[in-house]
């Protein structure tokens, strides 16, 4: 990377800045995510290299501007791992690395380890609280704004729950979901765009936290939904003798139902009965609540917007 950024190196690499590179960092992170989901380990090795390249790129640009070097990055990481793992490296080493939190280093369970981690991290962020301390006015300040919105919503809800600000059970969220949906319907009927944006956000935030109470990661659930939609829609395109946009809504409905049944049958063929019973998966017609139940739009055949 130093050679690429040096005089006589690559013109494109030399032109890049922190602002121009950051979008590629998100892309590479999601490509790593995708390779993991597909269990494509040869591809994962390649994608991890691409993600590592982003780290090297940032570090080299920072070094060029006199901010820090890749050695500083690794030193911060090493110290953080030692600091936040007193149960592994010992309390003395943890404190030498900057830990000022009063935690029990003699723990063996994951839950206790996570509690220690959070307490050590919290102390780091307090004024005068150790390495890299920053003034944090809210516990929510530790949730990065750069996170995907669904993941951020879940993290915010989890952080607020630690202060006792939460619904007691998942059942208590159901009336809230209905309330937010009703408020969205009111604003949609009135055609107020800004209010619709806010109410849809409130609805999504509530649904994400319903998932949190159910132990369902909303980001992962939506990725699974997106993948199912991709596969079913592709099957519709394959099965249709005409472009989909030339079909009437009832014809699209039939193609969707057929694609759903076909892909459900393929899933059955690849999953043994014992595995399906163990995982709680039941495939076949009528076994799964419809992902997509299109209706003929009132007064026309425009199929757009019916997700």
Domain contains 106: yes
Residue 182 forms part of a structural domain: yes
58 token code pair: 């940032």
Give the sign of the dihedral formed by CA 276, CA 282, CA 285, CA 291: negative
Which of 68, 88, 106 is at the close of a domain?
68
Mean pLDDT by 10 residues, the chain (307 residues): 94 94 89 91 96 96 96 95 92 89 85 86 68 62 84 93 93 96 96 95 96 94 92 95 94 95 72 41 37 40 34
| 168 C-beta neighbours (distance < 10 Å), count | 8
Residues 43 and 89 in one domain: no
One domain for residues 212 and 147: yes
- Please report the pLDDT score of residue 117 as a whole number: 85
Are residues 156 and 104 part of one domain? no
Residues 148 and 129 grouped into a single domain: no
Compute CA distances 270 → 36, 75, 226, 265, whole Å. 20, 47, 21, 9
Question: Residue 256: what pLDDT?
Answer: 95
**In a domain? residue 39:** yes
SS3 of 259-282: the string is: HHHHHHHHHHHCCCHHHHHHHCCC
Q: Does residue 82 lie within any of the structural domains?
A: yes
Q: Are residues 154 and 212 in the same domain?
A: yes
pLDDT tens digits for 32-78? 988 998 899 999 999 999 999 999 999 999 999 999 999 999 999 99
Q: Are residues 58 and 86 in the same domain?
A: no
Provide φ and ψ at 253, rounded to 5°: -60, -45
Structural domain ending residue among the three candidates 189, 216, 243: 216
One domain, residues 248 and 196 = no
Task: Please compute, for residue 127, the number of CA atoms within 13 A of its CA located in the half-sphere on the CB side.
Answer: 4
d(CA 158, CA 175): 20
Pick from 34, 68, 102: which residue ends a domain? 68
Residue 132 and residue 92 share a domain:
yes
CB distance 153 to 207 below 8 Å: no
Which pLDDT value is given to residue 211?
A: 96
Per DSSP, helices labelled H in the chain are 2-5, 11-15, 18-37, 41-64, 70-83, 86-89, 91-96, 110-125, 149-161, 173-190, 193-214, 218-239, 249-269, 273-279
- Tokens found for residue 80: 């953080």
103 and 88 fall within a common domain? yes
Which residue has 């995907």 as its token pair?
Answer: 148
Predicted pLDDT at 274? 37
Residue 282 lies in a domain: yes
Q: Is residue 221 assigned to a domain? A: no
Instruction: Note whether 28 and 92 are same-domain residues.
Output: no
Residues in Cβ contact with 132 at an 8 Å cutoff, skipping those fewer than 6 apart: 76, 98, 124
pLDDT of residue 127: 58
Angstrom CA distances, 109 to 85, 112, 120, stand at: 13, 5, 17
| Domains: count for the chain | 4
> pTM (2 decimals)?
0.55
Which residue range(s) make up the domain with 152?
143-216
183 & 247 share domain: no
Residues 99 and 156 in one domain: no
Give the model's pLDDT for residue 284. Answer: 35
- Domain assignment of residue 178, yes or no: yes
CATH of the domain at 53: 1.10.287.1080
Say how far apart CA 229 and CA 292 lie, in whole Å.
8
**Residue 241 maps to a domain:** yes
């Amino acid at each position: 990377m130093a050679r690429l950024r040096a005089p006589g190196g690559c013109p494109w690499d030399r032109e890049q800045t922190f602002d121009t590179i950051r979008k590629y960092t998100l892309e590479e992170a999601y490509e790593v995510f995708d390779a993991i989901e597909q269990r494509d380990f040869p591809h994962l090795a390649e994608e991890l290299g691409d993600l590592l390249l982003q780290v090297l790129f940032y570090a080299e640009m920072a070094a060029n501007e006199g901010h820090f070097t890749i050695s500083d990055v690794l030193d911060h990481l090493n110290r953080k791992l030692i600091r936040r793992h007193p149960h592994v490296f010992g309390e003395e080493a943890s404190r030498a690395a900057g830990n000022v939190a009063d935690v029990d280093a003699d723990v063996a369970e994951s839950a206790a380890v996570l509690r220690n981690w959070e307490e050590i991290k919290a102390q780091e962020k307090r004024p005068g609280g150790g390495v890299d301390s920053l003034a944090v006015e809210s516990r929510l300040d530790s949730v990065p704004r750069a996170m995907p919105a669904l993941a951020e919503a879940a993290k915010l809800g989890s952080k607020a729950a630690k202060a006792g600000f939460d619904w007691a059970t998942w059942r208590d969220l159901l009336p809230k979901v209905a309330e937010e949906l009703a408020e969205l319907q009111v604003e949609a009927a009135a055609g107020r765009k800004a209010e619709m944006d806010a109410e849809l956000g409130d609805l999504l935030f509530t649904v994400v936290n319903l998932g949190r109470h159910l132990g369902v990661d909303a980001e992962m659930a939506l990725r699974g939904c997106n993948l199912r939609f991709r596969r079913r829609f592709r099957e519709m395109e394959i099965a249709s003798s005409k472009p989909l946009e030339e079909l009437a809504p009832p014809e699209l409905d039939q193609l969707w139902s057929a694609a759903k049944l076909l892909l459900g049958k393929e899933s059955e063929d690849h999953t043994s009965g014992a595995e399906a019973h163990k995982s709680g998966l039941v495939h076949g017609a009528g076994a799964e609540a419809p992902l997509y139940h299109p209706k003929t739009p009132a007064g026309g055949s425009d199929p757009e917007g019916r997700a």
